């Protein structure tokens, strides 16, 4: 199947988008697995290869390749700052979100001890829970778990009940990796600030689908992963300067302590990945930016929501309370079988149990696994219809 033309409702030219991806050009395989990692446009890979060919060097030398990697680092910081709505100097890069979170959490909690508390939520990916649990083992701090409502939304009343004058950090996801559930991040940041605690936002799943203005949000720490929005495998974070400048980083002594973001990075930067990140954000900007992509994805999500057949059970909240991610099962058909049969029809989805949202494990209403579908801006309406038809056929076959 070759997807052609402009989507009539949105005016978004998805065929032109797909043409920028070698993996999407034949239009035969429909990728609905973006929550596990998105496809990458050719221009991003080309920027990475070009860096390896032309800028294999390091900072601080008086010749061209060294100056080029210095430019690559500065460009990536500026692009990341623009993407998150903050300043480039406040950006920190790492190997991935989880590794970066372990680094930052240990830096932030120097001086913590028994009596200090961190709140996490049942909606969290374990990448924003395990670092705090390990610190509880190391430092004797207390980690408390904030619950969810019956429709798997954050229980804000439980959050406020568990806040105390001992709460130092409130860690939470802006959107659930498992179900797509949105969290009112501005509200959580506000109540954390009012309690004298830091807000620590896992925006990995959210950043792929909605624009971010970290300054307006008021977050102290916000982390995301470019490989979720068509970029390279790496992690990045925005730190509020007034908070992070008080931290004493784990750092090799001769390396630079300024600007702020650089002082919290360790070792030689992966320049080829940073060049890929800049190309990723330029790619997103060329499509109109995240606000345009979010509007198109909401149309796709509505299209799928309205076409889901009888015999399919969707877990989590109503459509308006989620990003375009759907956790579901087909009645009478094991999730593994659903994923395998869809793959045979060249439709890619995941099957898993909790999708690393370990806190949800004992609250999930299915005994084994569920299918996760994730929509992203390179999906086309015709692919949505094809998916809905395939799910309907599976439901009838039970």
Dist CA 111 CA 3 (whole Å):
57
Residue 6 scores a pLDDT above 50: no
Most confident of 58-62, 67-71, 141-145, 246-250: 141-145
How many Cβ atoms sit within 10 Å of the Cβ of residue 85?
A: 15
| Contact predicate 221/83, CB 8 Å | no
- Assign 87 a pLDDT band (cuts: 50, 70, 90): confident
Kindly report, residue by residue over 339-386, the tens digit of the pLDDT: 999 999 999 999 999 999 999 999 999 989 999 999 999 999 999 999
pLDDT surpassing 80 at residue 255: no
Report, in this order, helix, strand and coil percent for the chain, each rounded to 5: 45, 15, 40
CATH number of 14-31+289-396: 3.90.1150.10
- Going by C-alpha positions, the residue among 165, 131, 155, 222 that lies closest to residue 360 is 155
Mean pLDDT, the chain, rounded, equals 94
pLDDT tens-digit profile of 200-213? 999 999 999 999 99
Digit-coded pLDDT (tens) for 258-297 = 778 788 888 889 999 999 999 999 999 999 999 999 999 9
Evaluate whether 316 touches 181 at the Cβ level (below 8 Å).
yes
Q: What would the mean pLDDT of 212-216 be, rounded to a whole number?
A: 96
N-term to C-term CA, the chain:
27
Domain limits, the chain? 14-31+289-396, 46-285
Q: What is the pLDDT of residue 10?
A: 57
d(CA 313, CA 370): 10
Average pLDDT on 134-162 reads: 97
Cα 396 to Cα 311, 327, 343, 390: the distances in Å are 8, 19, 18, 10
- pLDDT average, residue stretch 129-141: 98
pLDDT at 72 over 80: yes
In the predicted structure, residue 35 carries a pLDDT above the cut 50: yes
Whether residue 1 has pLDDT greater than 70: no
Residue 27 has a pLDDT of 74
Instruction: Say whether the peptide bond before residue 302 is cis (omega within 30 degrees of 0).
Output: no
Q: How confident is the model at residue 251 (pLDDT cuts 50, 70, 90)?
A: confident
Residue 2 pLDDT more than 80? Answer: no
C-alpha closest to that of 184 among 123, 226, 133: 123
Give the pLDDT confidence score for residue 8 in this predicted structure. Answer: 45
- Residue 364 tokens read as 């999930």
11 or 135: whose pLDDT is higher? 135
pLDDT number for residue 262: 82
By C-alpha distance, which of 317, 304, 359, 301 is closest to 179? Answer: 317
Q: What is the pLDDT of residues 289-331, one digit of tens each?
A: 999 999 999 999 999 999 999 999 999 999 999 999 999 999 9
Nearest to 15 by CA among 380, 385, 375, 382: 380
Q: What is this structure's pTM?
A: 0.95
**Token pair for 271:** 């320049």
For the segment 33-62, the average pLDDT, to the nearest whole number, is: 94
Q: What is the dihedral of CA 108, 278, 186, 143, to 10 degrees?
A: -30
Q: Quick one: average pLDDT of 90-102?
A: 97
46-285: CATH topology is: 3.40.640
pLDDT tens-digit readout, 146-158: 999 999 999 999 9
Q: Binning pLDDT at 50, 70 and 90, where does residue 9 land?
A: low
> In the chain, pLDDT over 70 holds for what percent of residues?
97
Does the pLDDT of residue 4 top 80, yes or no?
no
């Amino acid at each position: 199947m070759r997807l052609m033309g402009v989507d009539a409702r949105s005016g978004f030219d998805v065929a032109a988008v797909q043409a920028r991806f070698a993996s999407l050009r034949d239009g035969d395989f429909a990728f609905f697995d973006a929550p596990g990692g998105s496809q990458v446009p050719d221009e991003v890979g080309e920027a990475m290869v070009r860096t390896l060919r032309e800028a294999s060097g390091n900072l601080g030398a008086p010749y061209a390749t060294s100056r080029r990697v210095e430019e690559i680092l500065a460009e990536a910081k500026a692009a990341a700052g623009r993407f998150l709505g903050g300043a480039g100097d406040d950006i920190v890069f790492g190997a991935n979100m989880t590794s970066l979170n372990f680094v930052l959490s240990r830096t932030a909690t120097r001086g913590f001890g028994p009596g200090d508390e961190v709140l996490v939520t049942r909606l969290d990916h374990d990448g924003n829970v395990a670092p705090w649990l390990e610190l509880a083992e190391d430092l004797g701090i207390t980690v408390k778990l904030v619950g969810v409502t019956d429709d798997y939304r954050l229980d804000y009343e439980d959050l406020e009940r568990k806040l105390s004058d001992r709460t130092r950090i409130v860690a939470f996801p802006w959107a659930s990796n498992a179900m797509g559930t949105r969290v009112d991040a501005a509200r959580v940041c506000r109540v954390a600030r009012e309690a004298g605690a830091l807000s620590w936002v896992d925006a990995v799943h959210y950043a792929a689908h909605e624009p971010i203005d970290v300054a307006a949000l008021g977050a102290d720490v916000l982390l995301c992963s470019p490989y979720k929005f068509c970029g390279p495998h790496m992690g990045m974070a925005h730190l509020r300067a007034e908070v992070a400048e008080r931290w004493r980083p784990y750092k090799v002594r001769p390396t630079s302590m300024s600007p702020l973001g650089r002082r919290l990075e360790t070792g030689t930067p992966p320049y080829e990945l940073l060049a890929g990140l800049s190309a990723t954000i330029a790619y997103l900007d060329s499509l109109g930016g995240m606000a345009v992509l979010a509007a198109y994805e909401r149309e796709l999500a509505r299209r799928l929501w309205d076409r889901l057949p009888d015999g399919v059970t969707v877990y989590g909240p109503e459509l308006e309370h989620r990003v375009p991610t759907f956790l579901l099962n087909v009645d009478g058909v094991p999730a593994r079988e659903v994923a395998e049969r869809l793959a045979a029809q060249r439709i890619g989805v995941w099957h898993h149990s909790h999708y690393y949202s370990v806190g949800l494990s004992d609250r999930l209403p299915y005994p084994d696994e569920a299918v996760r579908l994730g929509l992203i801006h390179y999906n086309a309406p015709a692919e949505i219809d094809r998916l809905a038809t395939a799910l309907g056929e599976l439901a009838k076959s039970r």
